[in-house]
Amino acid sequence: MDKLTYKIFLLLIVLTLPFFADAQLFRSSNYWRQYRKEISFGIGASNTLTELGGRDRVGSDFIYDLELTKTKYSLSFAYRYFIKKNIAVRTSLFYAMVSGDDALTDDVARHNRNLNFKSPIVELSFVGEYHLINESAGHRYKLKGARGHKGTAIGMYTFVGLGLFYFDPRALDGTRLKPLHTEGQGLEGGPKQYSSINLAFPVGLGFRYSINTQWRISLQGGYRFTTTDYLDDVSTVGYNPDELEIAYGPQSPTYANRGLTKGWWGEGQQRGDPTDRDGYMFLQLQINYKILKRRKYGRGSRIKTRRSMPSF
């Protein structure tokens, strides 16, 4: 080996030392503490399970009644904090649109009901995460002579939590439905008016891919069980159209009963199922950034990490 080749070889070793030192450090028991804070941004799809729309059959439970053509968009921002290496808590803010339309189902009864809705969803949630597999940085290639721990590119986690969400159901033409009291809310014999703010119970699963020490890409899917059956403004039975018009104006009976077959959806006829709460779901691609912990020394600050480059 000539002197030039030797110097190049030595230089390559020096330059790659920080990489392998980083891999060793990341897998150590306390390294995760320096990256326990994380922020993320997400974009993806949203859908909902309510009385309106659905498959070409009598309403089914859970995802068996999902209408994929009504998939809309969702956006999110989140802050994650790792309490332990495998346990994290996360606060998230979601914005999404959801929608349903009886015209899309060939089930005779629901198609004839002919109701539709769309609604924004604004959700603030707090969840706990358990990371079944922790992704980590490190060398992922079969480099001859490479030492240290091999990085784990893929991670997986589950989550469950509690949230508050706001919704405002409208007909597809933009007409707000809650002020119309379409099921006689507030009138004699009718249900009480529903709240636009309700509880949500998020549950779900996520997969993460480690780009490097601080950046992650994740695919996260979650379902929200809720405490309301009025996400689509439909829950109980039809109300007297004359009384609706007197109390809330001519739009109220018009949007309460849009049935294609006369007599099917009149007073006392079933509009929805109050025993089955509505729900919604998100599937998002997210980018996550780990915030490196810094230690302050007097007025200045520096990164709290080990020295990985030799001094000359």
Give me the pLDDT at residue 35, please.
Answer: 85
Average pLDDT over residues 94-109: 93
Side-chain half-sphere of 188: how many Cα atoms within 13 Å?
1
> Does residue 80 belong to any structural domain of this protein?
yes
> Does residue 83 belong to any structural domain of this protein?
yes
From residue 185, give the alpha-carbon distance in Å to each of 26, 155, 192, 216, 268.
58, 48, 5, 48, 14
Q: Structure tokens of 52?
A: 């309106």
Average pLDDT over residues 284-308: 68
Beta bridge mates, 117: 100
Residue 60's pLDDT band (cuts 50, 70, 90):
low
Residue 20's pLDDT band (cuts 50, 70, 90):
very low
> Does residue 4 belong to any structural domain of this protein?
no
pLDDT tens per residue, range 237-275: 999 999 999 999 999 999 999 999 887 888 999 999 999
Kindly report the average pLDDT of the chain as a whole number.
84
Residue 267 DSSP SS3: coil
Please tell me the total count of domains within the chain.
Answer: 1
Q: Which of 69, 70, 93, 67 has its CA nearest to residue 80? A: 93
DSSP 190: S
129 has a pLDDT exceeding 90: yes
CA distance 76 to 281: 13
287 has a pLDDT exceeding 70: yes
> Does residue 130 belong to any structural domain of this protein?
yes
8 has a pLDDT exceeding 90: no
Structural domain containing residue 82: 35-293
